[in-house]
Amino acid sequence: MLYIGVDLGTSAVKLLMMDASGDIKKVVSREYPLFFPQPGWSEQRPEDWFTQAMDGLKELTAECDRSQVAGISFGGQMHGLVVLDADDAVIRPAILWNDGRTGEETDYLNTVIGKDKLSAYTANIAFAGFTAPKILWMRKHEPENFAKIVKIMLPKDYLAYRLSGTFCTDVSDASGMLLMDVKHRCWSKEMLEICGITGEMLPELYESYEVVGTLKKEIAEELGFSENVKIIAGAGDNAAAAVGTGTVGEGKCNISLGTSGTIFISSEHFGVDEYNALHSFAHADGHYHLMGCMLSAASCNKWWNEEILKTKDYSAEQTGITKLGENHVYFLPYLMGERSPHNNPDARAMFIGMSMDTTREEMTQAVLEGVAFGLRDSLEVARSLGISPERTKICGGGAKSPLWRQIIANVMNLKVDVLENEEGPALGGAMLAAVGCGEYPDVETAAAKIVKVVDTVTPEPELTRKYEERYQYFRRIYPIVKELF
């Protein structure tokens, strides 16, 4: 049988098809626009997601026996606010994870409601990108639209709804809404009251590997699929990427260098750090995870290369970088504000330490190192909790750079395992589909069978020592300059 994973990203939807053994048969990608109506705002049209996903599904399966497609599942950009009216029409464009308009609402939740109460209700505090602050923003600034709301959902769940007719979400994605009691895997009545919404507006909660329905008749006919194709709940993109990299079970680690950057540590037990600097979420394997998320990771490198240097040849820009651990130029990677651990939507990127002899290569190197240092900030929070992984998997577009992998390994002082397939959320979605269809008994079994490590980057003691000095300097910069933001 064949299983499809749909990765609904910020810039494109990636669709992957694999067979029962995990052999990837085909991958396709379809882009859609991103809108910035005001500085710091970020929106997309959910209808674009569906249109491109449907076209992608047709292209993905054009050359296969479509009767063999057994299940479809998802990984999706988290935290986005999608709202439908009584006619199932989208009320307004989706407000995305990297949207920074909710500063006042976030402050209200953290200071008036209080971080202690939020943590007790949801295991997390408010961040500007989370869904609950967006609901409060909409209630205040768009009361006419707010009054029309009948359904509130997350981006990937809009696809599941259009495909199956089931109003659903999964616990990993819902963890990032600030509406769910993560420890008990249910909606928080207190948070619903705070946001002025009802339980009927929210989808039914499922585990990521559970079947939520089957294809609607008209959708099956348009795609040429059987109506018996199962739709499996799926996961937030980071949890789906963790499944796709085998980061399941106790104490496993994954670093993702996508548009955003994450360090993801899986656990069989629920836990919250003292300052809520890391997110405490439910995991797609049925357990839990801690996650640090920086809003700009590979997107920093994309911005530097394409907008500033006016090139798309990323590897050529890295070829002249040879003096690792010796760079005097630093880069704060806060192009869209920052989440973990600073929780400051007003933070901004900056270079510091340049002189008349600073080279293009040094500035490119500073961008790569700045992202690594930013991820190290979250790793230090985990280490303060006694969680000290010795190795990590790595995925995302940035993970394709051998130089960046080397920098990550030495800045973090972690062995970095490189995977045979770096498809992350799309592969994780397909694996969840296989589990939901009964191909594997559980997520951990699927990961053990499918995920393969092909190389390991080992930290070099002398380089690690140099980067330790650089990191200690880097971590002093933000506290000094944050008042400027």
pLDDT in tens, 235-291: 999 999 999 999 999 999 999 998 889 999 999 999 898 888 899 999 999 999 999
The pLDDT value given to residue 73 = 98
Domain ranges of the chain: 2-238, 246-423+452-485
CA 387 to chain centroid, in Å, comes to: 21
Q: Share the mean pLDDT of the chain.
A: 96
* 3-state helix/strand/coil string of 200-242: HHCCEEECCCCEEEECCHHHHHHHCCCCCCEEECCEEHHHHHH
pLDDT at 345: 86
Measured from the Cβ of residue 93, the count of other Cβ atoms closer than 10 Å reads 20
Q: How confident is the model at residue 40 (pLDDT cuts 50, 70, 90)?
A: confident
User: What pLDDT digit, counting tens, does each position of 202-226 carry?
Assistant: 999 999 999 999 999 999 999 999 9
The pLDDT of residue 425: 92
The residues facing 235 across adjacent strands are 75
Ligand-binding annotation for 79, yes or no, is yes
Averaged pLDDT for residues 347-376: 98
Catalytic residues: 237
State the pTM of this model. Answer: 0.91
Per-residue pLDDT at 438: 98
Instruction: Tell me how far apart the alpha carbons of residues 169 and 208 are, in angstroms, rounded to a whole number.
Output: 8
Number of helices (H), then strands (E), belonging to the chain: the values are: 17, 24
Q: Which fold has domain 2-238?
A: Nucleotidyltransferase; domain 5 (3.30.420)
**Residue 482 predicted with pLDDT over 90:** yes
Exposure on the CB side of residue 340, measured as CA atoms within 13 A: 30
pLDDT of residue 343: 85
Mean pLDDT on 48-66: 98
78 is in an annotated binding site: yes
Q: What is the reported pLDDT for 275?
A: 83
State the helix-helix crossing angle for 360-384 and 461-481, rounded to 10 degrees: 90
CA distance 115 to 427: 36
Span 383-409, pLDDT tens digits: 988 888 999 999 988 999 999 999 999
Rg of the Cα atoms in the chain: 21
Annotation: CATH topology of 246-423+452-485: Nucleotidyltransferase; domain 5 (3.30.420)
Q: Do domains 2-238 and 246-423+452-485 have the same CATH topology?
A: yes
Considering only CA atoms, which of 26, 37, 9 is closest in space to residue 258?
A: 9
H helices present in 207-335, as ranges: 217-223, 237-244, 298-302, 314-318
Closest of 223, 132, 136, 140 to residue 177, by C-alpha:
132
For residue 158 the two structure tokens come to 């809009």
